[in-house]
Amino acid sequence: MNPEQTQELLSEETLEKEALLFEYSQAADPIGSGKTPKVPIKQFLPEAYLFGKTVLASLDLSGELGVPYPATSPSLLAGFAEIRGAESLATSPDATSQLLYVIEGSGFTETEWGAIPWRKGDILVLPGTAAVHRAEEDARFYLVDDSPLLAYLGVTRLQGRFHPLLFRGESIREALAKAQADPEAARRSRVSVLLANRQFPQTLTVTHCLWAMFGIILPGTRQKPHRHQSVALDFVVEGRPGVYTRVGGELEADGSIRAPARIDWVSSSAFVTPPGYWHEHVNESDGPAYILPIQDAGLHTYLRTLDIRFT
């Protein structure tokens, strides 16, 4: 032992106990072999999350994903929050980013920066900080954070990367109407607006991890199939019979999705679109429908792994 060595050397038996060596073909594709569970296609209907009391309910798929902490996707956790009038709900996710969409109601959120007022249709974005949400009338939220990512890495939030953001519902709808009225809109793959944060000019996303879009599916239209490597946690702001999403892993020769699963849009419901799966939104109704996809695409964009493709 080196004379300056003050700690006892660990034995080779201890050091090698968890070490493994695989022949390359046995471990090169753990997703294909089933070692890494696939992200499931899953729909969450609002009726299952109406409790009539102040509560936060996570949309937990940890069993399907094979992880010991709550998760809706490998890096994101979604949930529904209900706050009765004149009551409050405290949240303190171990996360770097949290996005909340106000489904109904009004009130304000107390943070270390001050109180933030909100009402139906608003989107509040927080840096994973402790907050107390106080409802002036019965209120409901849909919320997503990146706590599973931190749990997987075995780390905790050290400091915020941004200050709280508030997107007013009226401003979002006005920007969407402007995009819809653009003469080029008919030639674009979708009519939507992306939420962004000045703090992240490289990714043009709402946080360094989260990506969010507010989009409209016009009656009689179909968004052509596309895919990306970020998981989409889609929240249906306004659905109606005849509006649905098709999801599948492969395309036919004509560009249609092979043997797709169909998810019918129900207002205030949510569904998971797995990474790498082709998907398209279809509106066969006589009215518009609105959707709010939230993804971990901020992280993927920074890593240069988003790989978005269109048919």
**Distance between start and end Cα atoms, the chain:** 64
What secondary structure letter does DSSP report for 250? -
pLDDT at 3: 61
Out of 5-19, 130-144, 209-223, pick the least confident. 5-19
> Does pLDDT of 1 surpass 60?
no
H-assigned helices in the chain = 12-16, 24-27, 30-33, 62-65, 147-153, 169-181, 297-303
Mean pLDDT across 233-246: 98
Domains of the chain: 33-166 (2.60.120.10), 168-310 (2.60.120.10)
> Does pLDDT of 279 surpass 60?
yes
Rounded CA separation 132/135 (Å): 10
Query: What mean pLDDT, rounded, does the chain reach?
Result: 96
Mean pLDDT across 268-297: 98
Mean pLDDT across 192-204: 97
Rounded CA separation 46/78 (Å): 13
pLDDT at 278: 98
Q: Radius of gyration (Cα) for the chain, nearest Å?
A: 22
pLDDT at 171: 98
Band (177; pLDDT cuts 50, 70, 90): very high
pLDDT at 185: 82
Band (2; pLDDT cuts 50, 70, 90): low
Mean pLDDT across 14-28: 95
